[in-house]
Structure formats: C-alpha cells, structure tokens
Structure 1
Amino acid sequence: MSSSDINCGSGGGADTYTGLRIASIFIILVGSGFGALFPVLARRSSWLHVPAPVYEFAKYFGSGVIIATAFIHLLSPGISELTSPCLSPAWQVYPYALALAMLSLFSIFIVELVAFRWGTAKLAALGVVHDAHGHGVGSHAAHGPEAYLDKNSQADGSDLETGNGGLATDDSALAQIIGVFILEFGVLLHSLLIGLTLAVDENFKILFVVVVFHQLFEGLGLGSRLSLLKLSPRYNYVPVVAGIFYAITTPIGIAAGLGVRSTYNPGSTTASIVSGVMDSLSSGILLYTGLVELLAHEFLFNKEMTNAPNGKVAYAVTCMLFGTGIMALLGRWA
C-alpha cells in the first residue's frame, strides 16, 4: 500500500446509505435482543417449552462462537490496528496487541482467583465449604453456569427452582455474576466498536449483513449462558439486564458513529490506537472465558461430561466446532 492510499487524518467516514444506516440501528437491536433474551425468557416461560436439546445446542454452539470471536474478530483486528502504518514506528517494534491480550487474560484470572478465594473463605465461616465436586465456591463459576444446576434436575430444566436447596446462596450467586459479567464486558466492548465501524464504513451493505448474523450468533451464545444461571429471587433480574445491555450496545455504537460521521475516521491514528487496544484487551477476556471456563471445565473437568456416552460428547464437540466455524467464516467479511 502506497502512502497516497493511506488516510491517517481526522476526515469523516462514508456518507452513503444514510437511511439504511439509521434503519440498521433498529434491525440490529431486534436481532441482538432476540439472540440474548430469547433463551432467558424461554427458560422462564410457563407456556413456551423449548426442548432441552435446543438449549444444549445453543450452549455448546455459543462456546464455539465466543472462542472464534476472540481469535478472528478481536485479536486479529487488534494486531492489524496496532501495526497500522498510521502509527509511529514505536508501535512496530513490539507485538503490543498480543501483550495486551495476555495482560487482560492474566488480569481476569487474578480477579477471579481473589474473588473466589474470598467467597470460599466467607462460605467456610458459614460452614458451607464444598460443592458436589469437592471444590470451593470458585469452582462453581469456573465450571460454568451449568454447574449450579442441581445434579438431580431433569434435562428439560423444568425444576430450576427446587426450593432453598436448589437456589444459589448469595455468595455463589455473586461468583456466577462475576463470571458472566467478565464474559459480557469483553463482548460489549467488541459490540460497541462494531457499531462505530458500521456507521462509517464504505462497504456498508456487506458489513451490515455480516454484523446482523454476528450479533445474533454472539447473542445466542451469551443468552444461553445467561439462561442457565441459577440465582436466588433477589438476583433474578441479572440475566435480563445483561441481555438488554448486550442488545443495545451495538445500536448505541451505530448511533454514536452516525453522530460523528463527518469527523470520525476509523483509520486515523487515534482511532487505530483506541480500537486496537480495546480489541486486544477484549480478546484476552474472551480467550480466558472461552478456553478456561467454557471449554476446559465443560469437557475435561465436568463429571457429567466425562461420564457421558461417547455420542453425547461427540455431539457437544460438533456443536462447538460448528459455532466456531460459522463465526470464523464471518471473519472473511468483517
């Protein structure tokens, strides 16, 4: 690329398809909201009975989506943005994107480690120290939301609330909420940047179609996790609020991008640094969540899965790889 092809200034983004860009705010709001909230509301509904295999598919498909998002939609753009020719030579002498991803990964690990040890100590003082797996409260969140389901629960999830013994204590609820919001934090940063880009990108039509599917799939991955949270009544609002935040983040980004379209250039020096840093940090968060909390603890350290028939394990892995493949394919265009 020659220097004449590089626009590192503060010039504006594309001003084409204004009506469709405005409409995309509402279209993506509906798609994102459906993906994130449908699993949550369907799980709580007394009249809408979604088969258990659908939840299983969404759960493992979502794990694959999250992992592919971390690698293809966050880490790769982060590397490109922080090696942009618009940046000073100092940015080219070190792999800052990879370092930032590593920093966020270990930061999340330390935060969870401290939070879980504190929670375990607090439960120990109450005389409740171990779960069914023989671990402290931290293991609950590490095993993913499904670890909170009572092991005698039916597959259809109809007995999610099984009395006091089936509801999470305030401490374990806090551990679950921490785990989910770590995941959502990384997803929200990414969604905001997508919205900003969509509002000003020249290749709007292609990107718009890709983003609709991207947000739907990512929403299903997040929503399936939120729907499996088993919280006491005082925390019942958390999954719905989390789903709403996800649904509105990309539309907010689009609206903000349209508002500054005359001055915002996503290829400018400042925009490249901000986007690159945010993408890199978000990738570390999703890598930790996807590989440690979702993949390893669901397939390797989950007794239900280790004792499951080979067919069930193969189905779960296939669903996960399908989600990974679809999301990775979308990276061809966005």
Structure 2
Amino acid sequence: MASLSCSPSPVARLLFVVIAVVLLSTLAEATAEPAGVCERKAGECHDTLTARRLKIIAIFAILVASMVGVCLPLVTRSAPVLSPDGNVFAIVKAFSSGVILATGFMHVLPDSFNNLTSQCLPGAPWRNFPFTTFVAMLSAVFTLMVDSFATSLHGKVAATNMACEMAAVGDAEAGAVTAAGTDKDRKDQKLLRHRIVAQVLELGIVVHSVVIGLSLGASDNPCTIRPLVAALCFHQLFEGMGLGGCILQADYKLKAKAIMAFFFSVTTPFGVAMGIGLSNVYSDTSPTALIVQGLLNACSAGLLNYMALVDLLAADFLGPKLQGNLKLQFEAYMAVFLGCGGMSFMAKWA
C-alpha cells in the first residue's frame, strides 16, 4: 500500500511560491506609486519614534504569542486528557474552529471590503462591482477543487496498489489482503484529509498575516498601534491553537511540524519588520497596494471560511464522535460560539 508523505504537498509549495511572488510584486509596485496619490491625513496622534518603539515591541510580542499558540497543542499531546481522541481536545478544537471562522468573516473579509471600496481607488470598476465577495467565492471553490482532487488522486493510487497486491497472492489470501487494505485505506484517507486541511489552512492564515503585519509596520500612529498589538497577540494565540490542533491531527514528523509552526509564527512579525523598513517609501493607501491587498484578503477569507465550515466544523459535528454524544456536542457548540464571539469582539481593534 502507498504510504502518505510527511512533507508538504507540491500544491502547497506552489501556492506558497505564488503568494510570495505576488506579495513582493505588491511591494515593488506600491513603493513606486507617486507620493500624494491619496495620502492619509495626519492626525493628532502621530509620533514616528514612539510608533517605531511600539512596532519593535510588537514584533517580539506577536512572535511569542504565535509560537505559544501553535506549539501548545503539539507539546501537550502527551497529556492523556488532551489527546486528539479525547473530549477535551474536541471542545478546544471547536473553540479554535470558531476563532478561524470569525477571523475569515469578521477580520479578513471586512479588510478586503475596506481595501477595494476605498476612496483612494478610481470609481470604476472597483466600487461598481462586489469584487470582494466574488473573489472569496472563487477562492472557496478553488479550495474545494484542491481538496477534492488530492483526495481522488490518493484514492486511485491506493486502488491501483491494492489490485497489484491481490494479483500477487492466491485466491485464498485475496480476502485477507482486501480486508487489511480496506482498513488501511480508511486510516490513510482520514490522515490525508487532516494533512490537506493543515496545509491549506496555514496558507490562508499566512497570506492575511503578512498583509496585516505590513500594514502595522507601515503605520506611524501610536494611538492605533497600541490596541492593535494587543488584539493581534490574542488573535495569533487562538488562531495558532486552531492550526496547531490541525497539525497535530495530521500526524506529521517532527521536521514537518517544526516547519509549519515556524512559518505561522514568523509571518506576522516578518510583515511588521518589512513595514518598518519600507515605512518611508511604502504607501498602503496607493491604488496598487489597496487592490492587491484587497484581492489577497478576499482569497484568504474565502479559503478560511470554507476550511472552518467544511473541513473543521462540519467534519467534526457530523462525525460519529459528536453525533454519538449529545452532551459533548452541546459543549462543543458553546465552544464554537465562544470562539466566534471573542474574535468578533476583537474586530473592534484588529
């Protein structure tokens, strides 16, 4: 039987490369915009030195919060009460799924709306067509395609390998090979689903993390930076717990777990540091920056909303574990509402 690879899939690698190229091109074009295209009005709270100190603090604070959040499910797996098969883990995962769902609907999607309906953009076509929801819809469908094609490909490979094994043994052993192969295929299929979820979910989170980090790093307004840093720390902590739970269920080897945890932890601080370095030349109100950031946020929103609803919440709540325990199902729903409510409340600042 074919074994599942523990390294990120070629699709995930390709998507990461595409996102990196798009972000770099965004920076190049945004910094090339002529100054004064649509400058922000300087408010009373504008202090470059204070803002820079706060942003340096933000880099380390967000990095620590991200590392704690994503590593917490991974380092506590040895505790029996927090094992992936336990009830406590199901409740924590439901809470984290609610956080991810609220991130898509209450944080990423509104950011995209703000970008693509900004007064700094020309009226046509950006304010005459709902590009945010259109791109989010396409992103959700594309995520479904990746999910479906990867699962189908694995199923065909497994079926081919089973046919070869049955042809190599006699009729007396064919039944035993079929039974063993069917059981292994179910486990491999389940593991594959967890790995696809973990990789695609991290992709959506990374895109938004870099964009929001870049915006924070380019800001010189301490009055908005202070609450934003606190909100982002909580945001990264709870979002990291959701991603860490998915990585744990994917049962990667230590190297793959470390790589995925590293990418999640450093993306927002990297965006902040990049924004600090480009704060003198980068304008996040330039038309090019607004368009590309808005489209990236819309893609991320569609991806996160699909993953939260279909691959996380629906898969768990319609699965045998929660369907067979009404009390646990009710507690998990309360955890979902708590996660959604907490992240929705933080949308006031971030």
Q: Same fold (TM over 0.5)?
A: yes
Distance 1:70 1:40 in 2: 24
Aligned match of 1:192: 210
Instruction: Tell me if structure 1 keeps the 8 A contact 2:139–2:302.
Output: yes
Residue 114 of structure 1 pairs with residue 149 of structure 2? yes
Q: Deviations over 1:9-54 (max 9, x none)?
A: 49999723312211211111111000001211221x5xx6654554
Distance 1:266 1:30 in 2: 26
Q: Deviations over 1:67-122 (max 9, x none)?
A: 10110111111112101111112211110011000111111111211111111111
Instruction: Tell me if structure 2 keeps the 8 A contact 1:37–1:240.
Output: no
Distance 1:290 1:91 in 2: 28
Distance 1:37 1:292 in 2: 24
Instruction: Find 1:240's aligned residue among 228, 252, 258.
Output: 258
The percent of aligned pairs where both chains have the same amino acid is 33
Q: Which runs of 5+ in 1 are unaligned?
A: 1-5, 129-163
Distance 2:146 2:186 in 1: 25
Which letter maps to 2:321? E
Instruction: Tell me if structure 2 keeps the 8 A contact 1:116–1:175.
Output: yes
Instruction: Tell me if structure 2 keeps the 8 A contact 1:100–1:277.
Output: yes
Q: Secondary structure at the match of 2:38?
A: coil
Identify which range, 82-91 or 261-270, moves more after superposition.
Answer: 261-270
Q: Secondary structure at the match of 2:250?
A: coil
Instruction: Tell me if structure 2 keeps the 8 A contact 1:14–1:261.
Output: no
1:230 positional shift: 3.0
Which letter maps to 1:31? A
1:263 positional shift: 1.6
Distance 1:311 1:174 in 2: 29
Taking a change above 3 Å as real, the CA distance of residues 333 and 250 of structure 1, as seen in their structure-2 partners, is same
Q: Deviations over 1:162-213 (max 9, x none)?
A: xx979965x7655432221111100011111121122133211111111111
Distance 1:114 1:166 in 2: 17
Identify which range, 84-93 or 181-190, moves more after superposition.
Answer: 84-93
Distance 2:225 2:81 in 1: 35
Taking a change above 3 Å as real, the CA distance of residues 307 and 175 of structure 1, as seen in their structure-2 partners, is closer
Aligned match of 2:231: 210
Taking a change above 3 Å as real, the CA distance of residues 50 and 29 of structure 1, as seen in their structure-2 partners, is farther
Which letter maps to 2:160? A
Instruction: Find 1:68's aligned residue among 96, 102, 127.
Output: 102
Taking a change above 3 Å as real, the CA distance of residues 286 and 200 of structure 1, as seen in their structure-2 partners, is same
Taking a change above 3 Å as real, the CA distance of residues 324 and 109 of structure 1, as seen in their structure-2 partners, is same
| Alignment TM-score, normalising by the size of structure 1 | 0.78
Q: Secondary structure at the match of 2:285?
A: coil
Q: Which runs of 5+ in 2 are unaligned?
A: 1-35, 164-182
1:249 positional shift: 0.6
Instruction: Tell me if structure 2 keeps the 8 A contact 1:65–1:218.
Output: yes
Q: Secondary structure at the match of 1:85?
A: coil
1:267 positional shift: 2.2
1:55 positional shift: 2.5
Distance 2:147 2:300 in 1: 16
Distance 1:167 1:114 in 2: 17
Identify which range, 264-273 or 95-104, moves more after superposition.
Answer: 264-273
Which letter maps to 1:265? S
Q: Secondary structure at the match of 1:127?
A: helix
Q: Within 5 A, what are the aligned runs for 1:3-152?
A: 8-9=38-39, 15=48, 16-43=50-77, 45=78, 51=82, 52-89=86-123, 90-127=125-162
Instruction: Tell me if structure 2 keeps the 8 A contact 1:36–1:222.
Output: yes
Distance 1:42 1:167 in 2: 27
Taking a change above 3 Å as real, the CA distance of residues 96 and 165 of structure 1, as seen in their structure-2 partners, is closer
Distance 2:185 2:254 in 1: 14
Which letter maps to 2:349? W
Instruction: Tell me if structure 1 keeps the 8 A contact 2:87–2:328.
Output: no
Distance 1:295 1:107 in 2: 19
| Alignment TM-score, normalising by the size of structure 2 | 0.75
Which letter maps to 1:223? G
Instruction: Find 1:307's aligned residue among 324, 331, 334.
Output: 324
Aligned match of 2:242: 221
Pair member with larger Rg: 2
Q: Secondary structure at the match of 2:106?
A: helix
Root-mean-square deviation over aligned CA pairs: 2.6
When the two structures are aligned, how many residues end up with a matched partner?
A: 285
Distance 1:249 1:49 in 2: 32
